[in-house]
Amino acid sequence: MSGETGIEEYIAGGGRLSAPENAPPRYRGEIMRLIATFVDSEMAGAAGFADAINFAPGLAERIHAARIVLEKFTHARMALSLMASFGANTDRYVDQHPWSARLGRDAELGTRRQPGDMRLNVFHYPLSGWDDAVTMNTLMGSATVVQLGELAECSYQPLCDVMADVVPTEERHAELGRAGLERLLERGADRATIQASVDYWHPRVAETFGRLDSDRFGMYRRLGLRRRDNDALHAEWRIRCDRILAELGLATPGPVVGKPS
C-alpha cells in the first residue's frame, strides 16, 4: 500500500489505518480536519454550557450540567491526544481561542464556517437562560449522536477507539436534555417560550450538517472517513427530533428557504 491510490484501494477492501505513519498527506490533512472540528466543538460547547450551570433551577440540574461540561472537556482531551500523535502542539491548544465567546443572538451564520477555530457554527450562538440551554442541548445532542456515529466507523482505527467511548456518553447527554425538557414542561414552564427556543435552535442545529450538496463527501467516502452524505445524516436527525418534539407536545419548525428541510 502506497500513495493516495493505494490507500483508497486498501480502504475500499475494508482496511483501516492504525497510526499516523500509515497515512499519506491528503488523508492526514482530512482526518486532522475532522478531529479538530470535534475538539473545537466540544471545547466551545462545554465552555458555553458551563455558563448555564448557574441558570439551573435545582441542585440535581446543576450536577447534570456540570457533568456534561466535565465529560465534554474530557472528550476534547481524548481527541487532542490523537492530534498530538500527528505532531500537533496540543500544549497551546486550550488557550488558543476564547471558547466561551459568542456572537449576537440575532446572528445568521448559515453553513459558512467562521474564521479562527473549527467549532460548528451552532456554538457561536449564545444561550439565553436555562430553558433555552436545555432546549439547545436536546436538539444538538441528537445531532451529535448522529454525526459522531459516522466517525465511530471511519477508516482510522484510533479515532474509532476514541468514539467507542465518546458516543455512548453523548447519547446520555442527549437523553439528559430530553428528560430535562420534559421536566420543565411538567413543572409549568411556559410552553410558548420553549417553542420559541425550539424555533430558534432547530434551523441552527440543522446547519451543523453542512451543505446538502457538499462536494467533499465523495473524497471522504473514498478515504473511508464518511459512509453517508449530509442529506442522509440530516434526515436521520430530523426523524429523531420530530419524534422527541412530538412526544413533548412541541412543534417541529417548518423548513426555511435555502436551508436543509
Cα–Cα separations (whole angstroms), residue 28 to 12, 96, 163, 226: 17, 22, 18, 15
29 lies in some domain: yes
The total of structural domains in the chain comes to 1
Q: How many CB atoms lie within 10 A of CB 109?
A: 15
Q: What is the CA radius of gyration of the chain?
A: 19
32 lies in some domain: yes
260 lies in some domain: no
Among left, alpha and beta (phi > 0; psi -120 to 50; other), residue 56 is beta
Q: How many angstroms from the chain centroid is the CA of residue 169? A: 13
257 lies in some domain: no
200 lies in some domain: yes
What's the pLDDT score for residue 258?
Answer: 40
Q: How many CB atoms lie within 10 A of CB 105?
A: 11
What's the CA angle centered on 209, arms 17 and 202, to 5 degrees? 145
What's the pLDDT score for residue 255?
Answer: 65
87 lies in some domain: yes
What's the pLDDT score for residue 5?
Answer: 67
Q: How many angstroms from the chain centroid is the CA of residue 207? A: 11
Q: What CATH number should be reported for the domain holding residue 138?
A: 1.20.1260.10
Note the pLDDT tens digit of each residue in 40-95. Answer: 999 999 999 998 999 999 999 999 999 999 999 999 999 999 999 999 888 888 88
**Which residue bears the cell 467562521?**
114
Domain range for 133 is 3-102+116-247
Own/partner long-range contacts of 25-30 (Cβ < 8 Å, ≥24 apart) = 26/223, 27/223, 28/86, 30/219, 30/220, 30/223, 30/225
Is the predicted pLDDT of residue 96 greater than 70, yes or no? yes
107 lies in some domain: no
Q: What share of the chain has pLDDT > 70, as a percent?
A: 95
45 lies in some domain: yes
